[in-house]
Amino acid sequence: MRATIYNDSGNTVGYVEDKEIKDVLYKTIGYIEGEEIKDKFYNTIAYIKDNKILNCEYGTLGIIDGNMIKDTNYGTLCYFFKDELKDASFKDIGHFENVLNKNQIITVALLIFKIIDLQSESGK
């Protein structure tokens, strides 16, 4: 399955092909492998586990609360739905051409829209 990811202006910003996340130039930027989020070199950079977003050392980076991604202080970062992302003010961030599963949506929010900067949060 392939899904196209659009920003709030309707411009293409990326793609999801099964487990692979690609940027607008169709270069692989990461993967979602079950609960693991991997970088383009296939190194694990985060986990989605027990309604938390964890870094590679299992430190909490964010919390998944229903259809929201929250920071560690429970401040809402974004809302996600089957075909769209909204910021904390409920303004459109982006939308998806095809329906993605929950882990794919969260990975898109992290890798394409950078809701949480995984590189700086993981100490890399």
Per-domain residue ranges for the chain? 2-121
- Residue 16's CB: how many other CB atoms inside 10 A? 25
Which residues does 88 contact at the CB level (< 8 Å), separation at least 6? 75, 76, 77, 78, 79
105 within 8 A of 64, measured Cβ to Cβ: no
Residue of 97, 95, 99, 101 whose CA lies nearest to 113 = 95
Q: What is the pTM of this model?
A: 0.88
The C-alpha atoms of residue 46 and residue 118 are separated, in whole angstroms, by: 7
Q: Which two tokens stand for residue 19?
A: 């487990």
> One digit per residue, pLDDT tens: the chain, 124 residues?
789 999 999 999 999 999 999 999 999 999 999 999 999 999 999 999 999 999 999 999 999 999 999 999 999 999 999 899 999 999 999 999 888 899 999 999 999 999 988 765 544 4
The C-alpha atoms of residue 9 and residue 64 are separated, in whole angstroms, by: 26
Contacts 24+ apart (CB under 8 A), 117-122: 118/37, 118/45, 118/46, 118/55, 118/61, 119/45, 121/55, 121/61, 122/45, 122/46, 122/55, 122/56, 122/57, 122/61
**In the chain, how many H helices and how many E strands?**
2, 12
